[in-house]
Amino acid sequence: MRQQEYQTVFNFIGLNMNIFKFIFIAVYTTLSVFEAGAATPGVVRVQLEGQEFLIEAQFPSQGDVKLLLLQPHEGNDEGERLSLDWDLADGVWTATVNRLVDGRDNLLSRFQLVDMAIGKPLGQARWVGNIESIAKRSFEFPKAKSIKGLQCIVDIDDALHLGVKQAALNVTLDQLVDWRTDSGQFSRQVDGKTVCFHADYVAHIDSQLKRLTDAGVVNSLIIYNRIPGTRDGSPLVHPGTDLAKSPFRVGAFNLATAEGVRVYRAAIEFLADRYSNPKSGHGLAKRFIIGNEVQSHWHWYNLGEMPQRQVVNEYHRALRVAHLAAHSIHPGIQLYVSLDHHWSAQMGNNPQLSMSGKYFLETLNAIAKAEGDFDWHVAFHPYPENLFNPRTWEDASATASFDSKKITFKNIEMLPAFLRQPRFLHNGKARRVILSEQGFHSTGGKNGERDQAAAYAYSYYRVKQTEGIDAFILHRHVDHPGEGGLRLGLRSSRDGGVRPIYNVFRQADTAAWPEVFNFALPIIGVKSWSETLPIRQPQKE
């Protein structure tokens, strides 16, 4: 607007320009001193130095600030307000905070600067940024000899005969944690309180990991949370979980209460400690996958009906705490986000129940960067667009675009390419990708089993040629009756029923693969395997 147009508006509401100027100046001068600061105020960095946290922050020298110490379960308007002695050097204020206070270890806390003049937070809360400095282990986990892996192994001897180089094992907190007692064979102390673990379940994990580790297999733990029919005081159940309607009885980790955080932290620390020591004889687990298909949370990480960004916030806390807990023991443990094949699309239409994988990763990345970036990766499930049709090379919704509705094996290169964008890098490096759960349905009959085997050959070849993918872990070893009619197994039953895919899988990472895979070329409709690769590079945003 021109000045005379402004004057017309102000005259209409009974004001003239001089009065407006007076009001503007009066309001401006009552603003907090932080509003006019040259530098963005807030906590810049939190570092561990011995038994203290070194807090680095920016705020004007005339400002009245306090530091809010927030436990993982506390919101930004909760926590303990600390009055600190700040020192200024090169435009940055520093202060120290004790790590241990009244028997509580604040290692998993975040720190928020507060402007006391207006009672509002300044900038973002920040978590500890150098947790690896206190890690007690540093050996390098063995590297996998190939991408070939298997999930839901029912016979380890048979899996080793198949030549698996990687494996994924389910670990459910409700089976691991014995929260009803404070004594037992296996336990961990957190903040002066004991969290115990079921000995039989620990022995079960040991028996699998030791056999597989001894055979040179690299292992991933899929850590998730089955929920009971009633909360019954269980600290494992998130308050937002819909116990009555959760479709598959899989809920979110409880990071909403102090006890929930303590139990969850103890479980992650116990697993990290037990399975990162090559001298323990219990086996090794290099990767922790936190939750399952979390962007479709209603089904696989139930938080009830919840806005999308809040879901990502809740999950970020679980992932962050797992990172801090695991890396305080061994920084070589990799933490993974679990996503299904929905990319720009979502499962269903209700935004309170699910979201796109693309939105989930973009939002998670933004939150993590704002609160102090850390090392997380992606465990993806690129099932065919129709789980009952193994012919994934025909997937219409899998396109060569970052806005593809789904990411399946037909366009799997889109995912690592998306994560190579500068905004997703961590310390200059791209997030890694593993394919931790996916399989191919056998529709029955000769052609059904043939197409299942061809789908594996096609997918294995494409993944092996795709930069940034470290594992292709097939689901599953043997058909399971509880999978809605899907027949995904290399075998139809444990004692027999070997399908053609069995031998294709066995030979996939051997010198015999060209001969064994050759049958699939005419089924896919190509003359050579190079024809299955993308013609052009993925688009850039």
SS3 track for 360-387: HHHHHHHHHHHCCCCCEEEEECCCCCCC
- Report pLDDT for 10: 33
User: Average pLDDT in the 312-338 region?
Assistant: 98
Residue 536 has pLDDT above 60, yes or no: no
- Report pLDDT for 21: 39
Cβ–Cβ under 8 Å, residues 381 and 437 = yes
d(CA 261, CA 253) in angstroms, rounded, equals 9
- Report pLDDT for 39: 64
User: Average pLDDT in the 52-71 region?
Assistant: 91
- Report pLDDT for 355: 98
Residue 22 has pLDDT above 60, yes or no: no
Residue whose entry in the numeric block shows the structure tokens 């004991």: 194
- Report pLDDT for 231: 67
> Which amino acid, one-letter code, is at 461?
Y
Residue 158 has pLDDT above 60, yes or no: yes
- Report pLDDT for 62: 67
Does domain 146-380 bear CATH number 1.10.287?
A: no
* 169-199 pLDDT, tens digit each: 999 999 999 988 888 899 999 999 999 999 9
d(CA 360, CA 487) in angstroms, rounded, equals 30
> Which amino acid, one-letter code, is at 195?
V
Residue whose entry in the numeric block shows the structure tokens 């529709």: 443
User: Average pLDDT in the 407-433 region?
Assistant: 98
d(CA 437, CA 202) in angstroms, rounded, equals 23
Residue 15 has pLDDT above 90, yes or no: no
Residue 14 has pLDDT above 50, yes or no: no
pTM summary value: 0.91
Tokens of residue 248, six digits: 């598959």
CATH of 34-129 among 2.40.160, 1.10.10, 2.60.40, 1.10.540 = 2.60.40
Q: Which tops the pLDDT comparison, 538 or 168?
A: 168
For residue 109, the number of C-alpha atoms closer than 13 Å in the C-beta half-sphere is: 27
User: Average pLDDT in the 408-421 region?
Assistant: 98
- Report pLDDT for 103: 86
- Average pLDDT across the chain, whole number: 91
- Report pLDDT for 24: 39
- Report pLDDT for 183: 85
Domain boundaries of the chain, sorted by first residue = 3-29, 34-129, 146-380
Cβ–Cβ under 8 Å, residues 47 and 374 = no
Same fold, 34-129 and 146-380: no
- Report pLDDT for 233: 75
